[in-house]
Amino acid sequence: MKSIKAVSYPVHFQEKGYEELSNLISNKNYSTLFILADENTFECCYPKFIPNLKTDIRIEVIEIESGEINKNLETCAGVWNAITELGGDRKSLVITLGGGVITDLGGFVASCYKRGIDFVNIPTTLLSMVDASVGGKTGVDLGVLKNQIGLFANPEMVIVDTNYLETVTEREIKSGTAEIIKYGITYDSKLFYEIKNNKGLDIKDLIFRSIEIKNEVVLQDPKEQNLRKILNFGHTLGHAIESFYLESEDKENLTHGEAIAIGMVCESYISEKLLGFPTEKVLEVKDVVLSIYDKIDLLKEDFSAILELLKHDKKNVNGQVNFVLLNDFEDYKIDCKVPVDLIIESMEFYNN
């Protein structure tokens, strides 16, 4: 599978990635490799990864606790202290080996350590392969607010190796699928209908196509001034719902994909009411989502807390929540204001 040249770094697939990583390491003359993993990826992915790494350079593994709840500044401080204690310097390379928490946090940690050291992302979940791997967004959460602290910073390269997907659960695969559906809805309706009709799709092809799309979008608008905002479709309400479940101690957390899937159903409905997005397509989006994900009951009494969390969306200006909505598949409108009543109605539409 050929490599994709992203904004200012390449995405390499399968074994080609490790060859290129070895080249990078010898060309750049790094002093130490710091591999950032969590307890799961250290157990399951590290043994797959390490035989591919041909180098004599010192390797140190830094393990953090898995889970979105640990994607925060305290974890960053722990990693920074660990790198410091292990003798990190400006010629150190950070290799992230994990899902979106690891790649987002690791990229941020590397970009701020001694004003910036190199990093390479090796996503091990479907979600991080199709979403976190391209685009240069790094960051951590502030309390329950997702990715409030972070940077645009590019890795030296990304390695996508689908062998790591053998290590993740069905639920995690589904979480990544939501982003692929999003690429279909917003940028490539053919892809959407392929998923809807589910004709023996090869996961490698879906990943390649998703990265191609994200890359096309990001190349045109790296700093998210306009077109890139389509990648937020489903995420405005989706992030608020995800944060709400994260902060609710009596509720099981949703995966990112589960929350975003609900967000896409709601925002399709809002698009219909405000922009005339076709009714039959709203229903198709809902059908596809419910064919993949278990139905969640959004409780009426929780609506106000979810609406409150919307106020912290990064796209907001002057306290106004800005949605990206759809005129049709592949046809978007940014910076849409949505009446609160309609947001509530959209969650009821999802529920019913």
Binding interface with a second copy (CB under 8 A): 31, 73, 76-77, 80-81, 84, 87, 89-91, 108, 111-116, 137, 139, 142-143, 145, 147-152, 311-312, 314-319
Minimum Å distance from CB 81 to a second copy?
7
Residue 2 or 337 with smaller CB distance to a second copy: 337
In whole angstroms, give the CA distance from residue 142 to residue 129.
24
Minimum Å distance from CB 336 to a second copy?
16
Residue 321 or 347 with smaller CB distance to a second copy: 321
Tokens of 62: 């830094």
CA 342 to chain CA centroid, Å, is 27
Minimum Å distance from CB 80 to a second copy?
6
What's the angle, vertex CA 80, arms to CA 77 and CA 85, rounded to 5?
125
Contacts of 109 (CB under 8 A, 6+ apart): 36, 76, 79, 80, 83, 94
Minimum Å distance from CB 138 to a second copy?
8
Tokens of 234: 């489903």
Minimum Å distance from CB 86 to a second copy?
11
Backbone angles phi, psi at 214, to 5 degrees: -60, -40
Minimum Å distance from CB 189 to a second copy?
30
Minimum Å distance from CB 278 to a second copy?
32
Q: What is the CA radius of gyration of the chain?
A: 20
Tokens of 46: 């590290």
Minimum Å distance from CB 90 to a second copy?
6
110 close to 146: Cβ distance less than 8 angstroms = no
Residue 181 or 240 with smaller CB distance to a second copy: 240
Residue 209 or 228 with smaller CB distance to a second copy: 228
Contacts of 13 (CB under 8 A, 6+ apart): 1, 2, 3, 159, 160, 161, 204, 208
In whole angstroms, give the CA distance from residue 151 to residue 138.
5
In whole angstroms, give the CA distance from residue 156 to residue 8.
8
140 close to 75: Cβ distance less than 8 angstroms = yes
Amino acid letter, 273 = K
Tokens of 26: 């010898």
Cα 49 to Cα 52, 166, 170, 179, distances in angstroms: 6, 13, 21, 25
Residue 200 or 319 with smaller CB distance to a second copy: 319
Residue 107 or 123 with smaller CB distance to a second copy: 107
